[in-house]
Amino acid sequence: MPWTWAFEPADPAKPVDPPVSQEFPTQADAETWLGESWRELRADGVTAVTLLEEERVVYGPMPLDA
């Protein structure tokens, strides 16, 4: 089952493109990617992320704070 991140924008009137990240084969892969990418996401206007397995929420929303 694929794992993805859903992104929450700082301004709901300006959705993040893409609204969901690429698919990852494991939860660990998804979390590693987020650990490497959160600063860039934050700079792009993402304020929080939610981890999904298929359509099931695993956890989140989780703020992207420094």
Strands, sheet with 3-9, edge to edge from the N-terminal-most edge strand: 3-9, 46-53, 56-63
pLDDT, tens only, 6-35 = 999 988 888 887 777 799 999 999 999 999
Classify residue 44: in a domain, yes or no: yes
Mean pLDDT of 36-40: 93
Classify residue 12: in a domain, yes or no: no
Classify residue 53: in a domain, yes or no: no
Classify residue 58: in a domain, yes or no: no
Classify residue 64: in a domain, yes or no: no
Domain interval for residue 37: 17-48
The structural domain count of the chain equals 1
Classify residue 27: in a domain, yes or no: yes
| Alpha-carbon distances of 40 from 49, 51, 54, 56, rounded to whole Å | 13, 17, 24, 25
| Alpha-carbon distances of 59 from 3, 13, 27, rounded to whole Å | 12, 24, 11
Classify residue 29: in a domain, yes or no: yes
